[in-house]
Amino acid sequence: MVTLRSLNNGLPSKEEIRRAIQLIVWPPGTSNFTINPTPHGNGVKPIKNACMAVLKQTFGWQLETKITYATKSPGRVDATKALNGHLFTLEWETGNISSSHRAINELVLGLLRGVFLGSALVLPSRKLYPYLTDRVGNYEELEPYFDVWRAVNINEGFLAVFVVEHDAQDSNIARITKGTDGRALI
């Protein structure tokens, strides 16, 4: 199971997200999440994809949902679930810290414009970070900016941040496959 922290305990789909994250195991067929401690040796997308599969198959979330705001479309978000005529959205960070800032700003903008009733960002802890793709965004790098997002006047809804971390390290297990984009191969 992946360790999970949340900034907001009022999350309507918190248990669904928590369960989807807790079901991520590595290597496949085991009962916990063990990382090969090779510096920058593991990919992020297979971890994200495991969570997305559970959200879709078990809890009915939609994946890669195109979002349209009143003016421009920021593109697609990783997962959404309809709640009382609104969307709850989840982004799993697989890019660098700049990508983390863009993702959270996109979520806040959706809240401000009333498109999202709630939103969540999932990213690794600083303890997991050294073993993932070089420069992937992480909680501790983003945390100093939380006061900025807390200061945003949201009439309805909320933003939550979930942090994932490994259960154990073992240099004898296979590394998690890396993607082929950006700095993933580094």
As annotated, the active-site residues are 93
At 101, phi and psi to the nearest 5?
A: -65, -45
Which residue bears the tokens 């800032």? 101
Contacts 24+ apart (CB under 8 A), 81-86: 81/13, 81/16, 81/55, 83/12, 83/13, 83/117, 83/118, 84/117, 86/114, 86/115, 86/116, 86/117, 86/157
CB 102 within 8 A of CB 142: no
- Sign of the CA dihedral with 49 first, then 184, 77, and 137 last: positive
SS3 of residue 91 by DSSP: strand
Strand ranges in 44-157 using DSSP code E only, listed in sequence order: 62-67, 75-83, 86-92, 116-124
